[in-house]
C-alpha cells in the first residue's frame, strides 16, 4: 500500500512565519527600546531642521557653550540611567528565577513598562547626542544654538526623572508574589478567552446570593455601610468570606436574608473591597501569618539552619498575642441602632489566632532546642495572664509541643532541656544565668 504525502496549502507557511515573527517581536526585550531610539533620532533631526538658531531665544536655551554642556550632561546621565534600569531588570530576573521559577523570566522580559523605561532613556540619549552636532561655536564666543532641540531634551529629561521614580516603584512591586501570580493568571485567561470564546451556559446562582464582581482577596469590609444598607432595605446580610480570603469571580460573596432589590445587592457587593493580595488594613491574622512565614523559612533547611531568626519572629508573635490575650473579640455580629441583627461576618477568634501563631512553627521547629525553649517560654507567659476561657488552646499547644520535642529528642536529657522556658532560646533560662540577689543580701 503506497503512502501519499500531502503538501500543506500555500497559505500555511506564511501564517506560521507570521506567528513566529509576531511571537518573537512580542517576547523580545529590544523591540520597544530600538523603536524609541529611532524616534529619538528622528526627533533630533526634525528639531534641528526646523530651528535655524532663532526659534528659541538663547536666554532660554543658553549660549552655544552652555547648550553644548547641557546636551552633553543629558546624554551622559541618560546613558547611566539606561545602564541602571538594565541592571535592575537583570537583578529582578535573577531574583525571580531563584525565588519563583526559571519559567517566569519570559514574563519579566515581556514587561512593557520596563521596555518603555529603557526606550525612553535610550531615546533621550540618542536625541541629545545627535543634537550636539548642530551646536555651532564660533571663535568669538557666538554661534548657533538649536534651541528647540535643547528645550525638547530638557523636557525629555524631566520625563525621564518622573519615569525613573515610577519605574523603581513598578519593578519592586512587580517582584511581589501576588504580582507575578496575577501576571501569569491574566495572560492565561486572555489565552483561554481566545481559545475557548464560548463561556457556556450562564451560572445559576441562588437569588439570595450576591456574586463577586471580580476575583481577588478580601481587602476590607465596610461594616457600617452594610449595616446601614441592610437597615434601609430591612434585611440582613451574611458575608461568606472573611478578610484575607480569596474569592473567585462569580463566587457567592454575600447571602441576603430577606428581600433586596438589584441596586441593594450591587451596593452590598461594592462595600467589600477585593484586591490582589492580603493587607493589614483589617487583617490582624495576616501580620501573624507573615511572622510565622519568616520563622518557618529560617528553618527550611532543618531545625538548625537558622533558629535565631525563628526565635526573633517568635518574640514578635509572643508580643502580639500578649497584647491580644485579654482583649474582648468581636463575634462578627453587627446590629443596627434598634438592636436588630443586620450583618454577620466570619471572624477569627482566640483559638484561631493561637493555632495560626504556633501550629506550624511547633511542627517545623520542635527539633531545635532554641525554638522549642522559646515557644515554651511564650506559651507559659501567655498562660500566666490569660483568662480562664482562653487557657485551653494554649495548654493544648504546650502539650503538643512536649510530644513533638520528646519525639525529636535523642536522649531524655535533650527532651528535658528542650522544654525549659527560655526567652532567649538558649541563654536566659534560670539555670543559665546568675540568680537575682535579694534586697537583704
Q: What is the pLDDT of residues 337-368, one digit of tens each?
A: 999 999 999 999 999 999 999 999 999 999 99
245-293 residue pLDDT tens: 999 998 999 999 988 888 889 899 999 999 888 888 888 999 999 999 9
Q: How would residue 13 be classed by pLDDT, with cut points 50, 70 and 90?
A: low
Amino acid 10: pLDDT: 55
Amino acid 440: pLDDT: 47
- Of 114, 112, 119, 113, nearest to 40 (Cα)? 119
2: pLDDT strictly greater than 60: no
Q: How far is CA 9 from CA 2, 6, 12, 14, in A?
A: 22, 9, 6, 10
The cell for 125 is: 540619549
How many alpha carbons fall within 13 Å on the CB side of residue 412? 0
Amino acid 25: pLDDT: 67
Could you tell me if 132 and 153 are in contact, meaning their C-beta atoms sit under 8 angstroms apart? no
Distance, CA of 70 to CA of 153 (rounded, Å): 9
165: pLDDT strictly greater than 50: yes
In this prediction the pTM is 0.76
For 99-113, 161-175, 197-211, 300-314, which range has the lowest pLDDT when averaged over its residues? 99-113
Which phi and psi angles does 334 have, rounded to 5°? -120, 130
For 148-152, 281-285, 437-441, which range has the lowest pLDDT when averaged over its residues? 437-441
Evaluated on CA atoms 337, 341, 342, 347, the torsion sign reads: positive
DSSP string, 264-277: HHHHHHHTEEEESS
Amino acid 28: pLDDT: 74
Amino acid 1: pLDDT: 45
Q: How far is CA 351 from CA 122, 317, 355, 393, 398, in A?
A: 57, 15, 6, 6, 14
The vertex-198 CA angle with 193 and 204, nearest 5°, equals 110
The cell for 161 is: 526623572
Q: How would residue 171 be classed by pLDDT, with cut points 50, 70 and 90?
A: confident
Mean pLDDT of 82-101: 79
Question: What percent of the chain clears pLDDT 90, i.e. is strictly above it?
Answer: 48
Grid cell 478567552 is found at 193
Mean pLDDT of 201-230: 88
Provide the H-helix boundaries in 147-222. Answer: 147-174, 177-195
Amino acid 302: pLDDT: 84
Distance, CA of 162 to CA of 342 (rounded, Å): 48
Mean pLDDT of 390-405: 95
Provide the H-helix boundaries in 8-140. Answer: 12-27, 31-50, 58-61, 64-99, 105-109, 112-131
Give the mean pLDDT of the chain.
Answer: 86
Query: In degrees to the nearest 10, what's the CA dihedral of 423, 426, 431, 436?
Result: -50
Amino acid at each position: 500500500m503506497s503512502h501519499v504525502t500531502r503538501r500543506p496549502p500555500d497559505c500555511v507557511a506564511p501564517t506560521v512565519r507570521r506567528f513566529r515573527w509576531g511571537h518573537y517581536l512580542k517576547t523580545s526585550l529590544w523591540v520597544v527600546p530600538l523603536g524609541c531610539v529611532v524616534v529619538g533620532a528622528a526627533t533630533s533631526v526634525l528639531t534641528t531642521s526646523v530651528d535655524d538658531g532663532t526659534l528659541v531665544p538663547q536666554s532660554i536655551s543658553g549660549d552655544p557653550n552652555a547648550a553644548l554642556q547641557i546636551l552633553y550632561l543629558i546624554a551622559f546621565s541618560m546613558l547611566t540611567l539606561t545602564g541602571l534600569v538594565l541592571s535592575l531588570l537583570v537583578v529582578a530576573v535573577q531574583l525571580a528565577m531563584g525565588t519563583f521559577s526559571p519559567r517566569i523570566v519570559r514574563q519579566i522580559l515581556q514587561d512593557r513598562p520596563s521596555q518603555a523605561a529603557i526606550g525612553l532613556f535610550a531615546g533621550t540619549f540618542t536625541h541629545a547626542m545627535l543634537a550636539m552636532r548642530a551646536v555651532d561655536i564660533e571663535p568669538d564666543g557666538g554661534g548657533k544654538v538649536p534651541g528647540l532641540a535643547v528645550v525638547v531634551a530638557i523636557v525629555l529629561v524631566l520625563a525621564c526623572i518622573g519615569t525613573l521614580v515610577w519605574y523603581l516603584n513598578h519593578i519592586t512591586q512587580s517582584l511581589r508574589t501576588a504580582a507575578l501570580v496575577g501576571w501569569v493568571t491574566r495572560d492565561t485567561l486572555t489565552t483561554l478567552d481566545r481559545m475557548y470564546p464560548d463561556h457556556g451556559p450562564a451560572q445559576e446562582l441562588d437569588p439570595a446570593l450576591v456574586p463577586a464582581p471580580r476575583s481577588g482577596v478580601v481587602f476590607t469590609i465596610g461594616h457600617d455601610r452594610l449595616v446601614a444598607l441592610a437597615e434601609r432595605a430591612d434585611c440582613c446580610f451574611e458575608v461568606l468570606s472573611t478578610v484575607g480570603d480569596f474569592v473567585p469571580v462569580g463566587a457567592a460573596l454575600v447571602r441576603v436574608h430577606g428581600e433586596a432589590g438589584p441596586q441593594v445587592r450591587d451596593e452590598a457587593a461594592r462595600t467589600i473591597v477585593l484586591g490582589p493580595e492580603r493587607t493589614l488594613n483589617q487583617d490582624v491574622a495576616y501580620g501573624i501569618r507573615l511572622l510565622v512565614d519568616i520563622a518557618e523559612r529560617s528553618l527550611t533547611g532543618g531545625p538548625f539552619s537558622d533558629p535565631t531568626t525563628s526565635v526573633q519572629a517568635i518574640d514578635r508573635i509572643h508580643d502580639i498575642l500578649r497584647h491580644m490575650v485579654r482583649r474582648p473579640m468581636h463575634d462578627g455580629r453587627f446590629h443596627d441602632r434598634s438592636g436588630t441583627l443586620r450583618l454577620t461576618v466570619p471572624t477569627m477568634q482566640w483559638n484561631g489566632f493561637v493555632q495560626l501563631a504556633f501550629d506550624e512553627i511547633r511542627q517545623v521547629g520542635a527539633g531545635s532546642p532554641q525554638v522549642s525553649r522559646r515557644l515554651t517560654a511564650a506559651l507559659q507567659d501567655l498562660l500566666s495572664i490569660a483568662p480562664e476561657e482562653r487557657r485551653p488552646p494554649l495548654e493544648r499547644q504546650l502539650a503538643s509541643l512536649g510530644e513533638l520535642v520528646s519525639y525529636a529528642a535523642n536522649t531524655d536529657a535533650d527532651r528535658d532541656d528542650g522544654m525549659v522556658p527560655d526567652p532567649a532560646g538558649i541563654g536566659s533560662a534560670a539555670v543559665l544565668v546568675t540568680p537575682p540577689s535579694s534586697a537583704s543580701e
